[in-house]
Amino acid sequence: MKYVIQKHNASHLHYDLRLEMDGVLKSWAVPKEPLTDGTKRLAVAVPDHNIEYGDFEGIIPKGQYGGGTVEIWDKGTYNMISKTDTKIICDIHGIKLQGEFCLVKVSYQNKDNCWLFFKKGNNI
């Protein structure tokens, strides 16, 4: 299954994590660069995107949703290890990210679309 992270310089710089699931790219906006040392990063669930969007690099015109520059930061494939409504564990085979990564749903500022994204280790 397809995996991609797009560096997106819109109203603010962030990284869009996208995982192919159920015929779409499930997507999360990660405000800081993903790390491989187990550091947890906030990941805010955003609307799904079509599969083809995972190859997009370019400029979204100002005034449109997501207006700004988009470049592929990392890409590859992944294998789903486990998935529930509150936890996703997958084995990522990217250029920059390699290994088992987790998305864990959390309560943050009374919002229900917040997750933590991090490389699996002894911290879950």
Residues 6+ apart with CB under 8 A from 112: none
What would you report as the CA-atom Rg of the chain, rounded to the nearest whole angstrom?
A: 14
Query: What digits encode the pLDDT tens for the residues 77-109?
Result: 999 999 999 999 999 999 999 999 999 999 877
The structure's pTM equals 0.91
Query: What digits encode the pLDDT tens for the residues 8-50?
Result: 999 899 999 999 999 999 999 999 999 888 899 999 999 999 9
| Longest pairwise C-alpha distance within the chain | 43
Could you tell me which residues are beta bridge partners of residue 103?
88, 117
pLDDT on residue 122:
54
